[in-house]
Amino acid sequence: MARKKKEEIKEQLPPAPATPQPITETIEKNYMPYAMSVIISRAIPEIDGFKPAHRKLLFTMYKMGLLKGNRTKSANVVGATMQYNPHGDMSIYETMVRLTKDNEALLHPLVDSKGSFGKQYSSDMAFAASRYTEVKLAEICQELFSGIDKDAVDMIDNYDSTKKEPRLLPTTFPNVLVCPNEGIAVGMASKICSFNLSEVCDGAIQLLRNPSTTVDQLLDIIKAPDFPGGASIIYNREKMREIYETGHGGFKMRAKWQYDKKNNCIEILEIPYCTTIEQIIKAVADIVNDKNGKLKEISDMRDEIGLHGFKLAIDLKKGSDPELVMNKLYKLTPLESQFSCNFNVLIDSSPMVLGVKQILEEWIKFRVGCVRRELTFDLNKKQEKLHLLMGLGKILLDIDKAIRIVRETKLEKDVVPNLMEGFGVDKVQAEYIAEIKLRHLNREYIMNRIKEIEDLQKEIAELEALIASEKATKNYIAGQLREIKKKYHQDRRTDLIYDDEIEEFELKEEVEDINYRIVLTREGYFKKITMASLKGSDVQKVKDGDEIVYNADANSQNELIFFTDKANAYKAKVADFDNCKASEFGKFIPVELGFDEGEKVFSMVVVTEYDPNHNMIFIFENGKGVRVPLNSYQTKNNRRKLVGAFSDASPIIAAIKETEPVDVMLISNINKAIIVNSELISLKTTRNAQGITLYTLRKNQRIVEAITDQASRYANLKKYKKTKIPATGTALEELDVEAQQISLI
């Protein structure tokens, strides 16, 4: 039974191909058509600024007579659009929603709407069902369809070849830059921001007048993108020029706000186009609830959007600085967001990433073609009318003859041929004469029609000149743009904030002010111990063979600088480390801070402030020493590793922090020493300076130790002190009597 089933299944399977098909060929045949369909017929806008879904919807509304008259139910429009768009009704309705004035996604909405259509700036505000809402075309749509009935654009078959639809819409202004667009295709995407209509018209007029207009000149006219939600653009001319030139790039946007002193709250009035209120509220809530407490000043946040417009209210705790809070919010939340541009447009069905100037040039080329087709249509109509009137003029000489020919003709089919023979006119003219009503067969009517000939001849001559001259055609387009600007002008909604006017705000993590004991061992183990823990036990545990090289008090606000044997410095904050107990070995610093392989820490300093009068003293094995200002290690950002922290010309022996002049004892490998005051050591502003010779060494001699606590180890220190450098060493008296007496006390 099982064998029989297997045989039946085997029979149903298609036979294996005689020759294997390469995977590249399979992809090309099966996947590429789909990919190209998505790119060309769905996701990427054309030079008229529309994707096919937009164009089909608007054309349907135009054919329904919704450019004038009353609104109709959205469901009617959706149903009618399905004759052109084979996709589901919900996708059509969602396309319509974005074009409505109530959704607030466009600077110039294309659909005059009534009802609930949600909001572009909210992901939770759902639109009502299509049976409840009403729509018609907005007034500006006159500019989208101007000339469409005069052969301005090609008409193509719809998906089932039962109707005709426009290949593109003959937009009389560069809608591609006015209407924002975003789409994801296969292997490519498009994201075009909106620009101010008046500025775009001015930019197009400038290019029509002077095709050699530079991008810089265009930047002076079309200043920057403009968004329906307002907000502000942090403007950098170089970055904006890159977008205008290449079509790629990005810019930052930030929200507009005001402080309500009476209620002690911040009111967010406009937010970046690329975010939503839900994203903002969630981000603020997450930070406020975060245990690190980066936004302790906020007590509550409310959505106060209503009939009077957009508003998010942020309640502050008493004594909070609203400017500081907003700077934190800009850093931590989508109230400051990046808008990335990718001006990918279909030009003759080929996707191209174009800059603003290139898009305007392509639109001008497209618009010149539309205008010439429209004017040619008008010219042909006028020439046809002139031709008819010229024939009518011939019967003016003998109206009675025309009447007699018609009356005496026995058969109706012979009327036109007899008129053609009697007056020497062609068939079209004879048909026109034969169709004149009896009441119009008087001299007055015919004379009035003939007077139109002169006007028609003048108009035809003007149209022919206009079509023949590219300059005249461009002037005609420029005139249309001036009228559009005058009729639909809107002031900029998005302000420009120049980036050099914004002070760089560094978000400092607020750390509780606590005192600690910090310990570093020679092997690189670090401990941060609370004072309360030390009260229980202050005996420091270290590994066998290890010893403590640094033991001091520090505050949680302090910074630590670890110097390594590879001439690097690693910065960290006391607060970065977890607390330890004295009975633990501590944290291994090379692992904690990510040292290079084989790199070891040899010294550490605590930094309370980067005082310009404080220095680092470096002593090297070759007897040289140098002082480097401590503020040389100050960084604006949170850089952890600083390379070239000191000279690597000779092995380092000691790194000592100098807050005031200090005596430094240098001990050589032959048990000789000198003591020099730090003021004798040269101060160099370059971190990796080699310094000057302090200790004169002979062959095979080297410095093995540099200390500042020499008084606790040696007596008779005066004999080691040197007032001039370089200096030779003095033999150490390790068994000094006074030193022994001190040790016995």
Instruction: Supply the residues annotated as catalytic.
Output: 132
From residue 645, alpha-carbon distances to 72, 601, 610, 637, 667 in Å are 75, 13, 16, 17, 24
On whether the CB atoms of residues 396 and 450 are closer than 8 A, the answer is yes
What letter represents residue 548's amino acid?
Answer: I
On whether the CB atoms of residues 345 and 352 are closer than 8 A, the answer is yes
Per-position DSSP letters for 320-350, written without gaps between them: --HHHHHHHHHHHSTTEEEEEEE-EEEETTE
CA distance linking residue 642 with residue 624, whole number of Å: 22
Which residues pair with residue 705 across a beta bridge? 667
Q: What is the 3-state secondary structure (H, E, C) of 701-743?
A: CCEEEEECCHHHCCCCHHHHECCCCCECCEECCCCCHHHHHHH
Alpha helix (H) residue ranges in 565-644: 589-592
SS3 of 100, please? strand
CA distance linking residue 675 with residue 679, whole number of Å: 12
> Beta-strand (E) ranges in 574-712?
587-588, 601-607, 615-620, 624-629, 641-642, 652-658, 663-668, 672-677, 692-693, 703-707
Give Rg (Cα) of the chain.
43
Neighbours of 396 (CB within 10 A): 13
Residues with Cβ within 8 Å of 170's Cβ and at least 6 positions away in sequence, in order, are: 48, 144, 145, 146, 147, 148, 152, 153, 367, 370, 374
| Torsion angles phi and psi, residue 587, rounded to 5 | -90, 140
Half-sphere exposure of 654 (CA within 13 A, CB side): 21
Residues with Cβ within 8 Å of 569's Cβ and at least 6 positions away in sequence, in order, are: 561, 562, 563, 633, 641, 642, 645, 646
CA distance linking residue 214 with residue 196, whole number of Å: 19
Neighbours of 212 (CB within 10 A): 6
Q: Which residue has the tokens 């402030």?
A: 609
| Of 604, 464, 592, residue with least CA distance to 521 | 604
Half-sphere exposure of 744 (CA within 13 A, CB side): 7
The tokens describing 734, both together, are 């390790």
Using alpha carbons only, give the angle 452, 454, 458 rounded to the nearest 5 degrees: 115
On whether the CB atoms of residues 177 and 360 are closer than 8 A, the answer is yes
DSSP state of 15: P
What letter represents residue 270's amino acid?
Answer: E
On whether the CB atoms of residues 575 and 511 are closer than 8 A, the answer is yes
CA distance linking residue 336 with residue 66, whole number of Å: 40
Helix 443-468 to helix 356-395 angle, to the nearest 10 degrees?
A: 150
